């Protein structure tokens, strides 16, 4: 039977609920079904889709799936970090190459970002730096800051189905031995197997010595593997390609995984299903 044509107000697509499978935790995330209808109804395969306020990247992910080319713009590094992972999780190896423009690619621009974001509590620098180790920014910033945790990296190294969390702290100012001792305390309190400090400034020798006293994390199921429990990584090292050390035996679990998608080309029509 022929349905009714869609009207100006669309009520048949529910918003993202707390239980929704596609929910990634970005406060203003829109449902993929909504963007799918808009993109399918107004473009063809190969067309270019622009979302200049793209948040956690719903438009970008749907455009990719529907074989459109796309440009996404967002003003915050939080959105960029989430979007990168959404695309990786949703398309994996099938993801076509894309470029991130405007994020720091060298130490000088990292310093500039740290300076620029000083007036807003350095969050932009922090979100960007967390992205360097694929960490998920702590959701409740006030609480996170109180507890000395800026972000988390989750990983699996057993069969329990429960992820383990690495705590990550970012520092863009001067750092000293006491910061490492404090992070060590945070790690114990959070019962985290590993803690990582990302620092813009180079660590001092006493800091490195303090870090070594935290010993190694040795996963029970993988005898012979060991990872320093307290790792100091400079922004310079990360930009040069150095990586955090932790068990990578299973797929990373840091971000709530976007549902896996196959790419399909579609051109829709503005018809509801009522
Ligand atoms: C309503 S949200 C978009 C949500 C998106 N549709 C989704 O599904 O995740 C609006 C976004 O615009 C971004 N924004 C605000 N001002 C901006 C600006 N001047 N330039 C680019 N992005 C901006 C915000 O950071 C926010 O992520």
Domain 1-101: which CATH class? Answer: alpha beta
Closest protein CA for atom 16 of ligand 1: 75
Taken as a whole, the chain contains a residue count of 274
pLDDT score of 261 more than 80: no
What secondary structure does DSSP assign to 50-87, as a single string? EETT-TTTHHHHHHHHTT-EEEE--S-HHHHHHHHHHH
Residue 103 neighbours by CB distance under 10 Å: 15
Contact status, residue 138 vs residue 151, Cβ threshold 8 Å: yes
What kind and span of H or E run contains 232? strand 230-234
Tokens read off for 271: 């018809």
Q: Across residues 204-231, what is the average pLDDT?
A: 94
| pLDDT score recorded for residue 142 | 47
Domain ranges (residues) in the chain:
1-101, 107-239
Cα–Cα distance, 82 to 92 (Å, whole number): 15
> Tokens 């180790």 appear where?
133
pLDDT at 218 over 70: yes
Mean pLDDT within 170-175: 91
Which one of 20, 34, 59, 75 would you pick to mutate in the ligand 1 pocket, going by the greatest count of ligand atoms within 8 A of its CB? 75
Q: What is the pTM of this model?
A: 0.81
Say if ligand 1 is within 6 A of residue 231 CB. Answer: no
- Is there an atom of ligand 1 within 6 Å of 247 CB? no
Ligand 1 proximity of 56 Cβ (cutoff 6 Å):
yes
* Cα–Cα dist 267/66, whole Å: 9
**Where residue 125 falls among pLDDT bands split at 50, 70, 90?**
very high
Indicate the top mutation candidate among 20, 28, 77, 120 to test ligand 1's pocket, ranked by most ligand atoms within 8 A of CB.
Answer: 28
Q: Are strands 216-217 and 230-234 parallel, antiparallel or unpaired?
A: unpaired
**Assigned architecture for domain 107-239:** 3-Layer(aba) Sandwich (3.40)
């Amino acid at each position: 039977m022929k349905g009714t044509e869609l009207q100006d107000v669309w009520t048949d697509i529910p918003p993202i609920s707390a239980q929704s499978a596609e929910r990634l935790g970005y406060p203003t995330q829109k449902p993929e079904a909504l963007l799918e209808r808009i993109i399918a109804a107004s473009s063809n395969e190969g067309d270019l889709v622009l979302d200049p306020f793209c948040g956690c990247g719903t438009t970008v992910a749907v455009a990719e799936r529907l074989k459109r080319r796309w440009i996404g713009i967002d003003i915050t590094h939080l959105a960029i970090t989430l979007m990168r992972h959404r695309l990786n999780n949703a398309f994996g190896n099938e993801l076509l190459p894309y470029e991130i423009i405007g994020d720091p690619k060298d130490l000088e621009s990292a310093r500039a970002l740290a300076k620029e974001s000083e007036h807003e509590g350095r969050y932009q620098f922090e979100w960007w730096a967390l992205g360097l180790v694929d960490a998920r920014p702590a959701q409740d910033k006030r609480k996170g800051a109180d507890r000395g945790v800026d972000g988390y990296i989750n990983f699996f190294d057993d069969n329990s189905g429960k992820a383990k969390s690495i705590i990550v702290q970012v520092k863009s100012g001067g750092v000293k031995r006491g910061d490492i001792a404090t992070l060590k305390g945070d790690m114990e309190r959070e019962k985290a197997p590993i803690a990582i400090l990302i620092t813009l400034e180079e660590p001092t020798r006493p800091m490195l010595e303090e870090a070594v006293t935290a010993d190694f994390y040795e996963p029970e199921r993988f005898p012979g593997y060991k990872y320093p429990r307290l790792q100091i990584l400079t922004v310079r090292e990360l930009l040069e390609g150095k990586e955090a050390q932790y068990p990578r035996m299973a797929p990373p679990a840091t971000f709530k995984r976007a549902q896996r998608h196959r790419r399909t080309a579609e051109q829709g029509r503005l018809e509801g299903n009522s």
